[in-house]
Amino acid sequence: MTMIQDPKLLADTLNAEFGAMTPLDRLKSLREKVKGRIVFTTSLGLEDQMLTHLIFANNLKIDVVTLDTGRLFPETYDVWRETEEKYGKRIHAKYPQAEALENLIEEQGIDGFYYAKEFRLNCCGVRKIEPLGRALEGATAWVTGLRGDQSQNRLGMAFASYETQKKLIKANPLLDLSRERIAHFCDDHGVPINALHAKGFLSIGCAPCTRAIQPGEPERAGRWWWEDDTKRECGLHVPDKTTVSEGAGI
């Protein structure tokens, strides 16, 4: 097989191919075609647990990494432990830089994110964005558990794209799957699931910034619920305006 060297062209090729593939075949194709280190970042939520199962159960050479912000739910740590025990593999962790975190809390308080969106974004920057940068150091591809129907912002994402700022391919193997389909898969395969999902927490992040949703609310309504902005993101998945292959892959 001829390897495509241009990462932008490779991203376009993967994006075109993924539509006809299963999530497992998408991961296998990504691993086969992309040289170098591939990183999957997991929040240990439902979608990410499906991908972790596919990677670990099939011994795919993809690093599984989580961003431990220091403010996660106890249930999230529980499913982290249960997952490592089930598969006998390690989920690697990246933590905030101590000095940056100390300065953040000194400047805006322990829960300053409730008082201004700027403070919330500062917190996400220290606890998530900077650690993500270290998690992706040296990687040629980044796998995420994004679904297109989670939000309007994510609806326009592609199966695979080249991120010019991060200089890597970003792959979304579950982009066209529904939450129900993923839940059935996890149930059928005995995948460890965060206990918070059964309590109305469909999207799980840091404990102080996540609540259970009410009937009829959008899936991500429980994230940073005190903000008026309907396109609430922490910054991990804000579209790169110079990204190649920005069309929806669904």
Domain membership flag for residue 223: no
Classify residue 217: in a domain, yes or no. Answer: no
pLDDT of 157: 87
The predicted pLDDT at position 149 comes to 80
Please check whether residue 151 lies inside any domain of the structure.
yes
* Domain presence at residue 12: yes
pLDDT at 61: 98
Residue 204 lies in a domain: no
Give the SS3 label for residue 103.
helix
pLDDT at 235: 44
Instruction: Give the dihedral of Cα atoms 114, 117, 123, 125; nearest 10 deg.
Output: 160
Identify the active-site residue in 51, 79, 126, 234.
234
Residue 28 in domain: yes
pLDDT at residue 230, rounded to an integer = 52
Domain membership of residue 235 (yes or no) is no
To the query of whether residue 186 is one of the catalytic residues in this protein, the response is: no
What CATH number does residue 56 fall under?
3.40.50.620
pLDDT tens sequence for the chain (250 residues): 455 679 999 999 999 999 999 999 999 999 999 999 999 999 999 999 999 999 999 999 999 999 999 999 999 999 999 999 999 999 999 999 999 999 999 999 999 999 999 999 999 999 999 999 999 999 999 999 999 886 555 566 899 999 999 999 999 999 999 999 999 999 999 999 999 999 999 999 999 999 999 998 988 899 999 998 654 444 454 454 333 332 222 2
Per-residue pLDDT at 204: 94
> Could you tell me the residue range of the domain that residue 56 belongs to?
7-194
What is the spatial distance between Cα 245 and Cα 250, in angstroms, rounded to a whole number? Answer: 13
Strand 168-171 to strand 160-163: parallel, antiparallel, or no bridges (unpaired)?
Answer: antiparallel
Q: What is the tally of structural domains in the chain? A: 1
Q: Binding site: what residues are annotated?
A: 123-124, 206, 209
Backbone angles phi, psi at 37, to 5 degrees: -80, 130
Instruction: Report the b/e string of 60-95 with b at 16+ CB within 10 A.
Output: bebbbbbbbbebbbebbeebbebbbeebeeebeebe
Annotated binding-site members for [4Fe-4S] cluster: 123-124, 206, 209
DSSP 65-81: EEE--S-B-HHHHHHHH
In a domain, 213, yes or no: no
